[in-house]
Structure 1
Amino acid sequence: MPSLGDLIAPRRLGESFRWLLASSWTSNIGDGIALSAAPLLIASLTSSPLLVAAGAMMQFLPWLLFGLFAGSVADHRDRRRLVMIANGSRAVVVLALVLFLATGHVTVGVVLVTAFLYGTAEVFADTAGSTLLPMLVRPGDLGIGNARLQAGYLVGNQLAGPPLGAFLFAIGSFWPFLVQILCVSLAVVLISRIASTAVPPKLAAAEGTDGATPARDGGTPHPIREGLQWLRGNAPVRTLVLIILVFNVTWAAPWSILVLYATEHLQMGAVGFGILTTASALGGLAGTASFGWLERHVSFATLMRVCLSLEVLMHLAFALTTMPAVAFAIMFGFGAYAFVWGTISTTVRQQLVPMQLQGRIASVNMVGIFAGLVIGQLLGGLIAQAWGLTAPWWFAFGGSALTLAVFWRWISLITAATPSSSSDVDGSEDQSTNEP
């Protein structure tokens, strides 16, 4: 009978994956603590909604400013070392904030600058970190590896971290940030146990456009431009990035006013809103726990279509319901399929992108995600202001349904381009590749 450790991280994934998983889970606990502690700190210093919102803005603004550059850096440096340096920088930034808190000199400006610097380091840590898994496990194990990493995000960042951060903040404003420093520092130690993950120079340079750098006529292109040129020439990955971008716009529109929808439209109150978001995380755990079975029994194309179809129906259900109990059920289902989708889309991208371009293509994907969030949040606020709190859900329903109809056929082409993700119990895998 396999041990608990083998169930969480199967032996065939290797020791380096276990160190990566432990580092990721530890770092996510620290981030989850800050997820609740940072807004509480800003709210304790100012009652300005603009400044409170600015705290959240500082977390994703660095992605728009430095995301593409971070991808280029990740493709030309030892990725493990880059994650260590970036996480170490995050710990130093938070330590500076703790010193301001301990001496009583903290201001809103200090917190906002800290958030921006922390977010900038996070861009480099997350971009490089997202490229490590394909270097450590076989293509057939990417799905289960991503599912385990997603589970750590759900438990640490969404479930355990936020209430722990709020509890520590109630004891003293600097305590949650001290614990965050310990978590991030431990994550650095854990990931240091992985062997070197430098990308070999000119890796697969002679391959075609489906798996290597584009032709370099007239000299070597700029690294960022090289990644964008590869993405433009690879239809499956380009289409996947576009799907994610558009669905993030439609998703972010109603999510930007979710707290008002829950407290005013559904009359759930603050506690009900908190339980509503927790239901999503619990659904995500159910989705990631079942991913291994789903991967073995259902094709990726079918899973992607089902997940995106459920997204469309979820928006419609929220637009129609007035019952909190129904909203909880919808949110649980959302968490389940959303994290299955996230695991699949990440796995497919990692299987299709050549190793020397993993950082740049991942960064383009992340920039698209945050750009979609910004656009969607702006649209959601404007739509709700003009037509009411359910109007953003109707916008999301119509927009996501139209997007799914447009890209429905392309989903088969995306998944057909990937190597088979199936693997036998003993770890052997099918290496066949189908081209679109």
Structure 2
Amino acid sequence: MSTDTTVRPDSGYHRVIGAAASSAVGDGMRFAALPLLSTAVLHDAFQVSAVTAATTVPWLLFGLPAGAYADRFERRLLMVLADLLRAAVLILTVVLLAAGWLTFWPLLTAAFLLGVGEVLFDCASFALLPSVVPKERLESANGRLFAVQTVGRDLLGQVVGGVLFTVGRAVPLLIDAVSFLLSAALLRGVRSPEAEPERQPTADRPRLLADIREGVVLVLRDPLLRALTVSAGVINAVYLGQIAVFVILVRDVLELPDAAYGALLAAGAVGGVVGSTVASRLTTAIGRVPALVGNLALMGIAGLAVAATDRVAVVTVAYCVTGFALMVWNVVAVSLRQTIIPDRMLGRATGVYRLFAWGTMPLGALVFGRVSASAGPRAAFALGGVVTLLTCLPIAYTLLRDGRMTDSSVTDRRKTPEDAA
């Protein structure tokens, strides 16, 4: 195995990062503008919430088949098609808005199709990255990818999107469409990895359902992959549940103005950027197991800290720590999965992972909302802290028992697809 840890200029890595940065800024603007646009044109709370939910439904419906298609077709091309789909949807939405025809059903359909594009793009992109980056550089590469996405989407894009919406309702949507077109142009210049032709569909390929089943079995039968998936589900349920009641905590408990809510969210994003930047060096210094378990514990402690105080400074620091720990966990866990999963299975494994990990998010929002309604938002944060800390025990047990967690014993299985059977 090569020990080269540099990224070749012609590998396509920098184009992938550039495409991610471009689309992240556009996504941030859309995340800010779409709810504002829905509120402005629909004037109905249920319809507005339905449009917001429509962007996440495709993960539940198409997460598994999208992952299978990412293993059947050229991943770079699939990402380009997803970008072009989303750009076309946004341009059509602007046309309907200008003509006065943007009612509930067209807006709901647009949100759904944007979600479909996101599913296709994400399943392909997480599977493509290991083919353009040496294994030894995966954590650093993923850290940079998460950093540009967080800065572009959560810090820059959402702020700019809200401002541009006041200039014109169509402006952030048009810029988002341009960002997807730029992303597609960058990705077209990425060289197809040598392994890509092996994934082209042939007459003797298994049926789509058999491909999907193979991906599900791979994740569920592997103790390490299963533990990472379950842990991600718990983390996402807690995180979204706390986000759902955070605004109540800020307004009713801390008695801060609405502007402070955005500032505290930005503190979490800043922590995420720092975490994504140092994740690789942190893992090198202390190892994968301490990095994963330690940052999982940090998330739990931060939740308990928010529950135990009414000091704004403590809440700000705790939220920043949460963003930091969550991003370190993501970088290390994603890099580990990309290392141990065979190349031909990466798309399907990503689809399975996202389905289980993201499928818990609505449940977390409902549970934490109910706890907050009955006992207050502090109780919801306390519950999240306890659940997260308890999750540390089984995940630590699984990680310590798995020999692949040490640098010297991790086998690069991306080039040995026969091992996945």
* TM-score, length of structure 2 as denominator length: 0.90
**Alignment partners' CA distance in 1, 2:412 and 2:44:** 55
Residues 431 and 191 (structure 1), Cα distance of their counterparts in 2 relative to 1, 3 Å cut: farther
Structure 2 residue corresponding to 1:369, chosen from 332, 357, 360 = 357
Q: Which one-letter code corresponds to 1:249 in the other structure? A: A
Q: Which has the higher helix share?
A: 2
**Alignment partners' CA distance in 2, 1:229 and 1:92:** 36
**Alignment partners' CA distance in 1, 2:23 and 2:272:** 19
**Alignment partners' CA distance in 2, 1:371 and 1:335:** 20
Contact 2:72 2:199 in 1 (8 A): no
Structure 2 residue corresponding to 1:63, chosen from 52, 59, 64 = 59
Percent of pairs identical after alignment?
A: 27
**Alignment partners' CA distance in 1, 2:199 and 2:97:** 48
Contact 1:319 1:390 in 2 (8 A): yes
Contact 2:87 2:181 in 1 (8 A): yes
Matched residue of 2:310: which SS?
coil
1:350 maps to 2:358: no
Residues 160 and 202 (structure 1), Cα distance of their counterparts in 2 relative to 1, 3 Å cut: closer
**Alignment partners' CA distance in 1, 2:207 and 2:273:** 48
Instruction: Mark the runs of 5 or more structure 1 residues left unpaired by the alignment.
Output: 1-8, 204-215, 421-429
Write out per-residue CA displacement over residues 153-204 of structure 1, whole angstroms, 9 at most, x where no aligned residue: 111111110111111111111111111111100000001101124635389x
Q: Which one-letter code corresponds to 2:138 in the other structure? A: L
**Alignment partners' CA distance in 2, 1:310 and 1:195:** 40
**Alignment partners' CA distance in 2, 1:383 and 1:13:** 52
1:74 maps to 2:70: yes
Matches within 5 A, 1:179-258: 179-197=175-193, 199-201=196-198, 222-258=210-246
Contact 1:55 1:112 in 2 (8 A): yes
Q: Which one-letter code corresponds to 1:275 in the other structure? A: A
Aligned to 2:93: 97
Aligned to 1:321: 309
1:279 maps to 2:276: no
Greater Cα shift, 279-288 or 45-54: 45-54
Aligned to 1:30: 26
Matched residue of 2:190: which SS?
coil
Q: Which one-letter code corresponds to 1:194 in the other structure? A: V
1:334 maps to 2:346: no
**Alignment partners' CA distance in 2, 1:370 and 1:270:** 28
1:380 maps to 2:377: no
**Alignment partners' CA distance in 2, 1:291 and 1:397:** 22
Q: CA RMSD for the aligned pairs?
A: 2.4
The alpha carbon displacement at 1:301 in A equals 0.7
**Alignment partners' CA distance in 2, 1:237 and 1:349:** 7
Q: Which one-letter code corresponds to 1:48 in the other structure? A: D
The alpha carbon displacement at 1:336 in A equals 1.4
Residues 280 and 201 (structure 1), Cα distance of their counterparts in 2 relative to 1, 3 Å cut: same
Q: Which one-letter code corresponds to 1:160 in the other structure? A: L
**Alignment partners' CA distance in 2, 1:263 and 1:371:** 28
Residues 246 and 11 (structure 1), Cα distance of their counterparts in 2 relative to 1, 3 Å cut: closer
The alpha carbon displacement at 1:48 in A equals 3.2
**Alignment partners' CA distance in 1, 2:34 and 2:197:** 40
Contact 2:289 2:405 in 1 (8 A): no
Structure 2 residue corresponding to 1:115, chosen from 81, 98, 111 = 111
Q: What count of residue pairs does the alignment treat as equivalent?
A: 404
Aligned to 1:298: 286
The alpha carbon displacement at 1:43 in A equals 1.6
Contact 2:164 2:172 in 1 (8 A): yes
Q: Which one-letter code corresponds to 1:242 in the other structure? A: V
Contact 1:418 1:433 in 2 (8 A): no
Structure 1 residue corresponding to 2:404, chosen from 417, 422, 426 = 417
Matched residue of 1:390: which SS?
helix
Q: Which one-letter code corresponds to 1:133 in the other structure? A: L
**Alignment partners' CA distance in 2, 1:402 and 1:288:** 24
Structure 2 residue corresponding to 1:395, chosen from 373, 383, 391 = 383
Write out per-residue CA displacement over residues 238-293 of structure 1, whole angstroms, 9 at most, x where no aligned residue: 11111111222222222211111111111122100000000011111222222342
Contact 1:14 1:137 in 2 (8 A): no
Aligned to 2:167: 171
Instruction: Mark the runs of 5 or more structure 2 residues left unpaired by the alignment.
Output: 414-421
Contact 1:417 1:434 in 2 (8 A): no
The alpha carbon displacement at 1:432 in A equals 6.2
Aligned to 1:4: none
Residues 79 and 317 (structure 1), Cα distance of their counterparts in 2 relative to 1, 3 Å cut: same
Aligned to 1:151: 147
Write out per-residue CA displacement over residues 331-351 of structure 1, whole angstroms, 9 at most, x where no aligned residue: 111111111111001001111
Contact 2:68 2:208 in 1 (8 A): no
* TM-score, length of structure 1 as denominator length: 0.87
**Alignment partners' CA distance in 1, 2:50 and 2:209:** 37
Contact 1:280 1:332 in 2 (8 A): yes
Contact 1:139 1:419 in 2 (8 A): no
